[in-house]
Amino acid sequence: MSEADNHTPYRLDDQVGFLLRRALQRHMALYARAIPDLTSMQFATLAKLAEAGALSQNALGRLTAMDAATIKGVVDRLGKRGLVQTENDKTDRRRTIVSLSDEGRALFETLESKGRGVTTETLAPLSGSEQAVFLHLLRKLTWVGAGQAVLKPRHIGA
């Protein structure tokens, strides 16, 4: 950082956190319009289970970037709706295994194209090459694919 940077006035509109939050707000508005009956965390949970199959609740939380309390609440709510099933692991009764129910799989299959549409609409202002670079940079910022754990946020809403 140069000395001139130290004297540049702080502009909120130039700050990465502010810009990321604005982009997320736009994305979440598009998501809520397309998939109004599931929170984004519930959709992410169904998507990961559809992709990976049955998982321990702990692994599911890690793979969807949710802490233990948050993923438990999400799984409980999806379970009450009949969208996921849980059972104790046969080799370790302390571990809960989560899987999609038939109803959950059917719902995800009907919503999958809407989820893709939200991503398409979110990225629409960017050219194809800009989209690729943007996604690459986001992955780099979140360390996904680098073999490092995602930083744990202090607070995650469900």
122 belongs to a structural domain: yes
89-130 pLDDT, tens digit each: 999 888 999 999 999 999 999 999 999 999 999 999 999 999
Mean pLDDT throughout 35-54? 98
Report the DSSP beta bridge partners of residue 84. Answer: 100
1 belongs to a structural domain: no
76 belongs to a structural domain: yes
What does the alpha-carbon distance between residue 55 and residue 91 come to, in Å, rounded to a whole number?
Answer: 14
9 φ, ψ (degrees, to nearest 5): -60, 145
50-72 pLDDT, tens digit each: 999 999 999 999 999 999 999 99
158 belongs to a structural domain: no
120-156 pLDDT, tens digit each: 999 999 999 999 999 999 998 887 554 544 444 444 3
What total number of domains does the chain contain?
Answer: 1
Q: What is the pLDDT of residue 154?
A: 43
105 belongs to a structural domain: yes
> pTM for the full model?
0.84
17 belongs to a structural domain: yes
pLDDT band at 5 (very low <50, low <70, confident <90, very high): low
Q: What is the pLDDT of residue 32?
A: 98
Q: What is the pLDDT of residue 6?
A: 72
| Structural domain that includes position 97 | 12-142
147 belongs to a structural domain: no
- Return the CATH number at 106: 1.10.10.10
